Amino acid sequence: MIKFGELSDEQMAQKIQRALKLQEIEVVIERETTNNILSLFVSDEAHLPKAYDCFRVHLGFPPHFDIPPEMEQISRLPWGYVTKILMIIGTMIGGWLLYLESPEQLSVLFMSETDSGFLVEVMAGQWWRLWTPMFLHFGILHILFNMICFKDFGSLVEHQHGIKRYLALILIVGLVSNLGQYAVAGPQFGGFSGVLFGLLGLVWVYKVFNPLSEFSLPKSSVVMLLVWFFLCLVGVIPGIANTAHALGLSLGILAGMALGIHDRKNNAPLPLGPFLGYSMLSLSIAVLTYLIEGFKLDGRFYYLRFFQS
């Protein structure tokens, strides 16, 4: 049995199952008792492309994805040195998690192991916990998706902005997105996604403020980025660290604005409209995510248990 998708919406899962049955592809739906997530499987690997395509279509993506020239240009870049190292670390730790009986066996890499206080271990000197959650991945699909994206966009930012800027972005975005996710929902999360959204936000907005930039995100990729973000946020795609996504994207947008303005090679006036628009977008993404996550948690944010009198 080969998994090709996860959903929280039972009606949507059954709709995908019926659509694939018309193509003589049998789909098995299994509910995970621990988190109530529905997993979709096919028995034959040969059916996987059609199954995944059907899954994407029902989530609102185009049925066939032709690679835009901008993405082909990005994919041809050589792998960055720092990107390679981070991918190796992420893949090794993610692979290790697959063979452990439970994620708790690598609990030293989570933000915290206790509910007795806020960031107890970090305050005691275990500072690495502020960043190590981004190397934790839970499942093969999680590892593959993040590593494929990170290879392209990590290498692009490393190539275009240099190692110093690249590392600064990863450290800042990783820190803020991890802290935000921990404060909202607790320590049980992981993945490169917060950093990936930061990289995507940077690449997207940098071109707006520095039009002479060689690289850009195609409009279709921007639309897919935002659609994916909101599908995760409203719960269609379950088990996602949405606060990490939101803070990563918000910081990436701000970084794209700041670096784009700094690197402009002409004396053209600053475009005030885009400056205000992207500033508001960055703030709105963070605030909207906080409100929606609060609604889903009935206001029981993780940090409140330590700071309420």
Co-location of 154 and 287 in the same domain: yes
Alpha carbon 44 to chain centroid, angstroms: 29
CATH of the domain at 278: 1.20.1540.10
Co-location of 182 and 303 in the same domain: yes
Co-location of 42 and 22 in the same domain: yes
Residues 6+ apart with CB under 8 A from 1: 28, 41, 42, 43
pLDDT in the model for residue 123: 92
pLDDT in the model for residue 62: 61
DSSP letters, 233-299, are HTTSS-S--HHHHHHHHHHHHHHHHHHHHHH--S-PPP-HHHHHHHHHHHHHHHHHHHHHHHHHTTT
pLDDT in the model for residue 221: 78
pLDDT in the model for residue 133: 92
pLDDT in the model for residue 134: 92
**How do the pLDDT tens digits run along the chain, 309 residues long?**
788 888 888 888 888 998 898 888 999 998 877 667 888 899 888 888 888 888 878 776 666 555 677 777 788 888 889 999 999 998 888 888 777 766 666 788 899 988 888 899 999 999 999 999 999 888 787 788 888 889 989 999 999 999 999 999 999 999 999 999 999 999 988 889 899 999 999 999 999 999 888 888 888 778 888 888 888 888 777 778 999 999 999 999 999 999 999 888 766 677 788 899 999 999 999 999 999 999 999 989 999 888 765
Q: Give the residue from 90, 180, 86 showing the smallest Cα distance to 130.
A: 180
pLDDT in the model for residue 34: 67
For residues 186-223, b (16+ Cβ closer than 10 Å) or e, as one string?
bbbbbbbbbbbbbbbbbbbbbbbbbeebebbbeebbbe
Co-location of 95 and 10 in the same domain: no
Domain count, the chain: 2
pLDDT in the model for residue 37: 83
Cα dihedral across residues 137, 142, 144, 147: positive or negative: negative
Alpha carbon 38 to chain centroid, angstroms: 20
Co-location of 154 and 23 in the same domain: no
Co-location of 79 and 225 in the same domain: yes
Domain range for 36 is 2-58
Co-location of 179 and 287 in the same domain: yes
Domain boundary, last residue among 38, 58, 78? 58
Helix axis angle for 193-209 and 140-185, nearest 10°, is 90
In a domain, 120, yes or no: yes
In a domain, 149, yes or no: yes
Distance between CA 26 and CA 3 in Å, rounded?
A: 12
Cα dihedral across residues 191, 88, 175, 282: positive or negative: negative
